[in-house]
Amino acid sequence: MTAYLWLIWYDAAAKVTPKHWTLAVSYEAHDRAYATVYEVTMDFTGRYQSRVVRRVHLTSNHPLGAYGGKILLGEVNDGVLCSLEAYSDTAAELVNTYNRKRGQGTSNCHDWATIIVRSLEDAMLLPQGSLARLERCPRTG
């Protein structure tokens, strides 16, 4: 079965602060479709942890901010769906490793999403150009 992978961003608290990015998978391509949302959230120690939230509307608000927008990254198959949680966990650990070396908050949810999309595109599990579309999405305010 074919599913759709989206990048969703949520409004930031201020013009200079980062928007929150998540990846979402839906089986329909309209705004009211239900999706499984993959994201990273920061715990009380400053480490990012991968999180999955099921049955969320694509255009729902997030506790961190109001729905800001979305972009379709491409169609994915069931094989990708089975491994997306593992991709998310691995990308979160890469972000945490980078932050330990460079300083807390140096890398964030934007880098997490970029790592996952780059990996999927490199493995030819997402169409060519998906990463380029992601990189043009708004990151702040």
Task: For 85-121, write each residue's pLDDT tens digit.
Answer: 999 999 999 999 988 888 766 678 999 999 999 999 9
**Plot region of 127 (φ>0 → left; ψ -120 to 50 → alpha; else → beta):** beta
Annotated domain spans of the chain = 3-135
- Rounded Cα distance between 100 and 58, Å, is 33
- 72-86 mean pLDDT: 92
Tens-place pLDDT, residues 31-66: 889 999 999 998 888 899 999 999 999 999 998 889
Tokens 């980062």 found at: 18
Entry field: residues in the chain: 141
Taking the model in full, what pTM does it have? 0.93
